[in-house]
A and B are shown apart, each in its own frame.
Chain A
Amino acid sequence: MTRAGLHALLSHWWRNPMQLFTLVVGLSLATALWSGVQAVNAEARASYDAAAATLGEGQFAQMTSDAGMIQQADYIKLRRAGWLVSPVVEGRLDGVRLIGLDPLTAPNGLGPVDLSDGELTVDVLTGGVFFATQDTLDRLSDYNVTLVPSPDVAPGVILTDVGTAQRLLDMDGFLSRLIVASAQPVNQAPLADVAPDLTVRTPQNGTDVARLTDSFHLNLTAFGLLSFAVGIFIVHGAIGLAFEQRRPVIRTLRALGFPLRRLVALIAVELLALSLIAGAIGVGLGYLIAAALLPDVAATISGLYGASVSGTLQLRPEWWLSGLLIAVGGTGMAAATSLFQLARMPLLASARPRAWAMQAGRGRLYQAALAVGLLILAALLGAFGSGLIAGFGMLAALLIGAALALPVVLDRVLAFGSSRAKSVIAEWFWADTRQQLPGLSLALMALLLAMAANVGVSTMVSSFRLTFTGFLDQRLASEFYVYADDADQAAALQTFLTSRVDKVLPIQSADQDIRGLASEIYGPTAHATYRENWLFLQSAPDAWPRIEAGEGAAINEQLARRGDIAIGDTITIAGQPFVVLGIYGDYGNTIGQVIVTETLFNTLFPDIRALRFGLRMDPADVPALSAELRDSFGLAESNMINQAGIKAFSLDVFERTFTVTGALNVLTLAVAGFAILMSLLTLATMRLPQLAPVWAQGLTRARLGRIEIIRAVLLALLTAALALPLGLALAWTLLAVVNVEAFGWRLPMYLFPLAYLRLAVFAVIAAVLAALWPARKLARTRPADLLKVFSNER
């Protein structure tokens, strides 16, 4: 009996292949977008994990020298004084970061490298072995070492033994830094007695790459979730309709004595199977999306945050499992109401697919009330909420509220249009559109969300771009930057450069906690460069002149927000009180920053000498000076930064960001377009009884078809008009609420009307494309079929 029941249920899909197609494609697309985005996120995170494991940063304190390098003799002195430290030698080889560790003393050994092969290990310690990803190894010239491809090593990093690194980097007798083990022995000589030049830097969250890049992942995840929501609208529609159309079958089965419980179970199993199939297809598609996006995402992240992400994708169980789970969960969510109704359905209830389609209209008042409630909640959360949870709660309330409000608002707009209609046909058009609204509302909600997400995310990304490039202009005001390796070289450089450029601006900094927050103190030379380029978010009157006179300090926004410091408050630097006169934006930085004058800085930190210099000069002379510095001082390329180069690089990074957002934009719009297409197709057959009388009264089929398209354009435009404010609200929430909560700084919001216009055009095109087929079908409906309506009323 079960078999017969299953057969009867499944036969529905044979008779309505389009519905099955809608269900599977909708669910697949939703899963694909979700899992694609998750794949990119998972891959990027795995890369950071590899980086963290490779470097041991964040987890352990580090010992560094103000002079730059640490004498190996000091390392031995420290070990012999009871300091459990482990040497690190770092440098660049063919543009790749080379990290040498001592596997015997490093707290994490050689990080992710597998040393279970004894012979290989002997080679590591006494010969020379490079561990890196195949990509990285391919970039190297021959160094006469054993190359071992290791997928778990961070991209762009070679791990090797400290001795091998010293030899290849020409650093014999020197170390870059020391890792301090977390457990130290009870008897230990004070650091100041053993190696007074060295300082211990406690592990700081601020150096954690993952935190920095979280903002990027947050955006991607928000995008993925919205896309999935859009897909679930489609699935909900398809399942609901299928249930409604199967009522006769269900009724017959039950009349034949088929137990209700088993029937519900059968349908649940059927849906589970369908969702697993669709989920699997979706995960596969997601993989393709991720594979296409990853190189750009990788480049974006490495450009923005300096964190390297492997450009190749690995099939990670966490994301394909989550993809399948979300497909099944989403189907369950979409089918819950229908299954519940089925379980409570009277035995002989008749099928009412049309009524089902109109059903959304019935609870309109209730829906409107809920929408208004959610929007009020969003406003309240925006005004009074605090914390990341409130930020996300606000986003959710805003989006759901707006989606629920859409049919109500559209209905009012259409009613208004109807009241203004001059001709009979126009009046019929408005009334008919209004009457179709309930059947289309799910698809239109999907379109609304897709467009709002696009407006929101592109506003955010573009605002970020504008802010960041402006910030680069402000921060990289000098034409050329030079980094010295040590204090002696710095002194020589300064003398050498003073006669050759317009102005040498030493950049000196010291690390110090301000109100318990890790911060850097800068002491720039007073120069017009700073006055002209550094803009304050808030400042006391005459802030720059007063700071230059040594009357106070300027701090960055992060420090102001986290330390709750306002203009006029006092902070303590090196034991001395300073009044805060200005607060400036400092985007992308995770820790606090304070600026005082050079004179003051030298008094406060007499031991610190600038190793970095900003050079004001004619940009045309930069290449020549760069070559001269390389030849006379042996300065490496990495010690010199051409400002124009940085800017070009940053812009390139943003171009890639746009590629990613652009691709996601198109995909979500495609999903929404698909939703409209499917809704229109579903409605098309049901609507014949309403169109036949209009046709009979003289409206040609071709004209009816054209009216269908106009209707789609009208609805798309109306939805777009509503999506714009929603998208801007979304962007505002991301920039001014979520970003502040997550990262401590607020991004200014800029508007991009042209981009929004383009998006509206895309939405209309999507709607027209979606309406084209149903309209054509209508235009080609055989007159006989239309006539049948009059003879074959239900």
Chain B
Amino acid sequence: MNARVLLLLLWPFAASAQGFAGLGTETDGFATPQSPAIFDFPTDHGPHADYRIEWWYLTANLQAADGAPYGLQWTLFRTALAPEQGAGWSSPQLWMGHAAVTTPDMHYVTERLARGGIGQAGVTADPFEAWIDDWQLTGPDFDRLTMTASGPDFAYDMNLTATGPLIFHGNNGYSVKSAEGQASYYYSQPSYTIEGTLTLPDGDVDVTGTAWLDREWSSQPLSDDQTGWDWFSLSLDTGKLMGFRLRQTDGTVYTSATWITPDGQTTAYPDGAFNADPLSTATVDGRTIPTRWRVTLPDRNVDVTVAAINDQAWMQTSVPYWEGPITVTGTHTGVGYLEMTGYE
């Protein structure tokens, strides 16, 4: 019995009988998102312990001086075992960090786990600091951040600067996830410029690019009949697009999307406006995973093909999933990140 299996059971984000990762469980005693969403910054950059799950999720599309593409992920998850609070070791708050670097032919990934209440991991809002062990995402405010992570075979050290405003998804940050009304609070900073150094087995690589930070918290974001999701964040020549589809046990999907103009204006799209259809699959860790997609948002004349830079961007962590950089071609061109969960 190792921590991996243990986490699989504990983490609401883990595969279980009910929905992907037990996300479709009851909220018993935890707070639930309410509409309209009212945010209070910088406080809301910090943790919301009375909600069951929460994450600070950063992905970046990078380029080295020689033009080689790289992908980078830095994620801190929080989960609460119980709505009650406890101090020290008996705190019900658990933290999980995932870090990855993707190259066209390699995918480096590592994971950290920590108990809340002892200082090993946590988030403070002002000044902003999110950490687990030696990994950090920190800065005087949310617009200027430094980011570090390290694993047995890689490390990175990055500086991020926001070039646009925060983006609120769904109804001003109240993001509905199913026809029954399950929802989460969801906002992003999709416009960071990023530069820094990747430490890889072959040596250090200086890189620059763009990064996208997602903030989301909830207590029960999935409906019981939803099994997983495919999530896209695309930085296109004429704007940015966040879109996801939640797969349901009956084969249908529930979709949602946000179109972001270059000056930060957003349009939220309800179920059905955004489409993503697999074009081809790859065998990853013994599973069949779609790694080329046709993504459309007819309202914005978006009809693009999305392809993984590296098919094998498998996150072999306590809760395994696919997460990697993509390229976009078609009516629009650009780069982005794709996350796929619940593929058994």
A121 to B6 Cα, complex, angstroms:
8
A111 to B1 Cα, complex, angstroms:
7
Contact with A along B168-192 (1 / 0, CB 8 A): 0000000000000000000000000
A166 to B115 Cα, complex, angstroms:
15
Tell me if A388 is interfacial: C-beta within 8 Å of chain B. no
Q: Known interface pairs A114-B1, A126-B92, A163-B89. Does A82 touch B120 (Cβ–Cβ under 8 Å)? A: no
Q: Known interface pairs A118-B9, A163-B88. Does A82 touch B3 (Cβ–Cβ under 8 Å)? A: no
Contact A105 B113 (CB under 8 A): yes
Interface residues of A in 160-182 (CB under 8 A from B): 161-164, 166, 172
A116 to B6 Cα, complex, angstroms:
7
Find the B residue at minimum CB distance from A77.
B119
Query: What distance in Å separates the Cβ of B158 from its nearest Cβ neighbour in chain A?
Result: 13
Q: Which residues of B contact A117 (CB under 8 A)?
A: 9
Find the A residue at minimum CB distance from B9.
A118
Q: Which residues of B contact A187 (CB under 8 A)?
A: 134, 148, 150, 155, 199
Question: Which secondary structure characterizes the binding site on chain A?
Answer: loop
Q: Known interface pairs A115-B9, A186-B155. Does A79 touch B120 (Cβ–Cβ under 8 Å)? A: yes
Tell me if B153 is interfacial: C-beta within 8 Å of chain A. yes
Count residues of chain A with CB under 8 A from any CB of chain B. 40
Contact A116 B9 (CB under 8 A): yes
Q: Which residues of B contact A104 (CB under 8 A)?
A: 3, 6-7, 94, 113-115
Contact B3 A105 (CB under 8 A): yes
Residue of B2, B82, B110, B148 with highest tally of chain A CB at under 10 A:
B2
Tell me if A183 is interfacial: C-beta within 8 Å of chain B. yes
Q: Which residues of A contact B5 (CB under 8 A)?
A: 109, 115-116
Tell me if B270 is interfacial: C-beta within 8 Å of chain A. no
Q: Which residues of B contact A79 (CB under 8 A)?
A: 114, 120, 133-134
Q: Which residues of B contact A183 (CB under 8 A)?
A: 152
Chain B interface residue count: which class? 35 or more
Contact B115 A102 (CB under 8 A): yes
Q: Which residues of B contact A114 (CB under 8 A)?
A: 1
Find the B residue at minimum CB distance from A113.
B1
Q: Which residues of B contact A115 (CB under 8 A)?
A: 1, 5-6, 9
Tell me if B273 is interfacial: C-beta within 8 Å of chain A. no
Q: Known interface pairs A109-B6, A126-B86, A187-B150. Does A76 touch B92 (Cβ–Cβ under 8 Å)? A: no
Q: Known interface pairs A80-B131, A80-B134, A161-B89. Does A186 touch B1 (Cβ–Cβ under 8 Å)? A: no
Q: Known interface pairs A126-B82, A126-B86. Does A103 touch B152 (Cβ–Cβ under 8 Å)? A: no
Tell me if B139 is interfacial: C-beta within 8 Å of chain A. no
A186 to B203 Cα, complex, angstroms:
12
Contact with A along B1-28 (1 / 0, CB 8 A): 1110111011000000000000000000
Tell me if B229 is interfacial: C-beta within 8 Å of chain A. no
Q: Which residues of A contact B86 (CB under 8 A)?
A: 126
Contact A185 B150 (CB under 8 A): yes
A72 to B119 Cα, complex, angstroms:
10
Contact A184 B152 (CB under 8 A): yes
Contact with A along B117-131 (1 / 0, CB 8 A): 011100000000001
Tell me if A125 is interfacial: C-beta within 8 Å of chain B. yes
Find the A residue at minimum CB distance from B84.
A126
Contact B199 A186 (CB under 8 A): yes
Find the B residue at minimum CB distance from A100.
B89
Contact with A along B72-93 (1 / 0, CB 8 A): 0000000001100010111110
Tell me if A351 is interfacial: C-beta within 8 Å of chain B. no
Contact A82 B134 (CB under 8 A): yes
Tell me if B212 is interfacial: C-beta within 8 Å of chain A. no
Tell me if A570 is interfacial: C-beta within 8 Å of chain B. no
Contact B2 A108 (CB under 8 A): yes
A528 to B93 Cα, complex, angstroms:
60
Find the B residue at minimum CB distance from A105.
B113
A82, A84, A109, A125: the one contacting B2 at CB < 8 Å is A109
Q: Which residues of B contact A106 (CB under 8 A)?
A: 3
Tell me if B264 is interfacial: C-beta within 8 Å of chain A. no
A76 to B86 Cα, complex, angstroms:
19
Q: Which residues of A contact B142 (CB under 8 A)?
A: none
Q: Which residues of A contact B118 (CB under 8 A)?
A: 72, 76
A79 to B131 Cα, complex, angstroms:
11
Query: What distance in Å separates the Cβ of A447 from its nearest Cβ neighbour in chain B?
Result: 52
Tell me if A709 is interfacial: C-beta within 8 Å of chain B. no
Interface residues of A in 616-655 (CB under 8 A from B): none
Contact A118 B10 (CB under 8 A): yes
Q: Which residues of A contact B88 (CB under 8 A)?
A: 163, 172
Contact B1 A110 (CB under 8 A): yes
Find the A residue at minimum CB distance from B6.
A115
Q: Which residues of B contact A112 (CB under 8 A)?
A: 1
Q: Known interface pairs A114-B1, A166-B89. Does A186 touch B81 (Cβ–Cβ under 8 Å)? A: no
B6, B110, B119, B151: the one contacting A76 at CB < 8 Å is B119
Tell me if B70 is interfacial: C-beta within 8 Å of chain A. no
A102 to B119 Cα, complex, angstroms:
14
Q: Known interface pairs A81-B134, A103-B3. Does A186 touch B151 (Cβ–Cβ under 8 Å)? A: yes
Q: Which residues of B contact A161 (CB under 8 A)?
A: 89
Q: Which residues of A contact B114 (CB under 8 A)?
A: 79, 104-105
Q: Known interface pairs A79-B120, A115-B5, A187-B155. Does A126 touch B10 (Cβ–Cβ under 8 Å)? A: no
A106 to B6 Cα, complex, angstroms:
12
Tell me if A122 is interfacial: C-beta within 8 Å of chain B. yes
Q: Which residues of B contact A163 (CB under 8 A)?
A: 88-90, 115
Contact A121 B89 (CB under 8 A): no
Query: What distance in Å separates the Cβ of A79 from its nearest Cβ neighbour in chain B?
Result: 5
Q: Which residues of B contact A116 (CB under 8 A)?
A: 1, 5, 9
Contact A186 B150 (CB under 8 A): yes
Contact with A along B199-229 (1 / 0, CB 8 A): 1000000000000000000000000000000
Q: Known interface pairs A102-B115, A105-B3, A187-B155. Does A82 touch B150 (Cβ–Cβ under 8 Å)? A: yes
Q: Which residues of A contact B92 (CB under 8 A)?
A: 122, 125-126
Q: Which residues of A contact B152 (CB under 8 A)?
A: 183-186
Q: Which residues of A contact B231 (CB under 8 A)?
A: none
A118 to B115 Cα, complex, angstroms:
16
Residue of B9, B81, B134, B199 with highest tally of chain A CB at under 10 A:
B134
Contact with A along B99-116 (1 / 0, CB 8 A): 000000000001001110
Query: What distance in Å separates the Cβ of A297 from its nearest Cβ neighbour in chain B?
Result: 29
Interface residues of A in 182-218 (CB under 8 A from B): 183-188
Tell me if B154 is interfacial: C-beta within 8 Å of chain A. yes
Query: What distance in Å separates the Cβ of A185 from its nearest Cβ neighbour in chain B?
Result: 4
Find the A residue at minimum CB distance from B86.
A126
Contact with B along A127-166 (1 / 0, CB 8 A): 1000000000000000000000000000000000111101
A125 to B118 Cα, complex, angstroms:
13
Interface residues of A in 44-84 (CB under 8 A from B): 72, 76, 79-82, 84
Interface residues of B in 49-91 (CB under 8 A from A): 81-82, 86, 88-91
Q: Known interface pairs A105-B3, A110-B1, A163-B88. Does A126 touch B120 (Cβ–Cβ under 8 Å)? A: no
Q: Which residues of A contact B2 (CB under 8 A)?
A: 108-109
Contact A162 B9 (CB under 8 A): no
Contact with A along B135-170 (1 / 0, CB 8 A): 000000000000010111111000000000000000
Query: What distance in Å separates the Cβ of A47 from its nearest Cβ neighbour in chain B?
Result: 19
Contact B3 A121 (CB under 8 A): no
Q: Known interface pairs A80-B134, A104-B113, A125-B92. Does A186 touch B120 (Cβ–Cβ under 8 Å)? A: no
Query: What distance in Å separates the Cβ of B73 from its nearest Cβ neighbour in chain A?
Result: 16
- Residues of B participating in the A interface, judged by any CB pair closer than 8 Å: 1-3, 5-7, 9-10, 81-82, 86, 88-92, 94, 110, 113-115, 118-120, 131, 133-134, 148, 150-155, 199
Q: Can you list 12 contacts pairing A with B, beta carbon distance less than 8 Å?
A: A79-B133, A80-B133, A84-B133, A109-B3, A115-B6, A162-B89, A166-B89, A183-B152, A185-B134, A185-B151, A185-B155, A188-B150
The 7 closest A-B pairs by CB, nearest first: A163-B89, A82-B134, A185-B150, A104-B113, A187-B150, A118-B9, A183-B152
Since A76-B118, A163-B88 are in contact, a sample of 15 more A-B pairs with Cβ atoms closer than 8 Å, ordered by chain A residue number, is: A79-B120, A80-B133, A82-B134, A102-B115, A104-B113, A109-B5, A109-B6, A116-B5, A116-B9, A118-B9, A118-B10, A125-B89, A163-B115, A186-B155, A187-B150
